[in-house]
Structure 1
Amino acid sequence: MIDPIRVAVFGASGRMGAALMRATVATPRVQLVAALVRAGSVQADAVVSSLHGGAAESMCFSESLSAAADVLIDFSAASAFDQALAIALEHKIALVSGTTGLSETQYQTLHAAAREIPILWASNFSLGIAMLTRLARDAAKALADWDCEISEAHHRHKQDAPSGTALSIGDAIAKARASTLDDSAIYARTAKSGARKAGEIGFSVVRGGDIVGEHTVFLIGEGERIELTHRAQSRDIFAAGAVRAAAWLAGRTPGVYTIENVLGLSD
Structure 2
Amino acid sequence: MTDVIIMGAKGRMGATLAALAKADEELNLAGVTERSGNTDGLELLDCLVSDKLEELLKAAPRAVVVDFTAPEASLKMAEIAGKHGNPAVIGTTGLDKAQQAVLAEAAKKQLLFWAPNMSVGVNVLLKILPELVKALGPAYDMEMVETHHKMKKDAPSGTALKLAQCLAEARGWDYDEVKQHCRDGIIGARPKNEIGVQTLRGGDVVGDHTMFFFGPGERIEVTHRAHSRETFAQGALRAAKWLSAQKPGRLYTMQDMF
Normalised to the residue count of structure 1, the TM-score between the two structures is 0.88
8 Å CA contact retained: 1:98, 1:121:
yes
- The aligned counterpart of 1:198 is 192
How much does 1:147 deviate?
Answer: 0.7
Residue 62, structure 1, aligned to residue 51, structure 2: yes
SS at match of 2:92: coil
Distance 2:133 2:227 in 1: 26
With 58-67 and 7-16 compared, the bigger mean Cα shift is at 58-67
Distance 1:103 1:215 in 2: 20
SS at match of 1:125: coil
Deviations 1:104-143 (A, max 9, x none): 3321211110111122211111111112222223212332
Matched positions, count:
252
8 Å CA contact retained: 1:132, 1:228:
no
SS at match of 1:170: helix
Distance 2:185 2:28 in 1: 52
Structure 2 gaps, min length 5: none
- The aligned counterpart of 1:43 is 38
- The aligned counterpart of 1:121 is 114
Residue 22, structure 1, aligned to residue 19, structure 2: yes
Alignment of 1:173-252 (within 5 A): 173-191=167-185, 193-252=187-246
SS at match of 2:150: coil
Distance 2:83 2:156 in 1: 33
Structure 2 counterpart of 1:60, which letter? V
SS at match of 2:251: strand
Structure 1 gaps, min length 5: none
How much does 1:26 deviate?
Answer: 1.8
Match 2:76 to one of 78, 83, 96:
83
Alignment of 1:159-170 (within 5 A): 159-170=153-164
SS at match of 2:147: strand
Structure 2 counterpart of 1:115, which letter? K
With 152-161 and 7-16 compared, the bigger mean Cα shift is at 7-16
Distance 1:72 1:164 in 2: 21
Q: Following superposition, which runs of at least 4 residues in structure 1 exceed 4 angstroms of deviation? A: none
With 213-222 and 189-198 compared, the bigger mean Cα shift is at 189-198
Structure 2 counterpart of 1:232, which letter? A
Match 1:102 to one of 87, 95, 112:
95
How much does 1:231 deviate?
Answer: 0.7
Q: Report sequence identity in percent.
A: 40
**How well do the aligned residues superpose, as a CA RMSD in angstroms?**
1.7
Distance 1:203 1:210 in 2: 20
How much does 1:222 deviate?
Answer: 0.7
Distance 1:258 1:106 in 2: 16
Distance 2:83 2:46 in 1: 27
Structure 2 counterpart of 1:67, which letter? A
- Report the CA distance shift for 1:141/1:86 in structure 2 as closer, same or farther (over 3 A): same
How much does 1:191 deviate?
Answer: 4.4
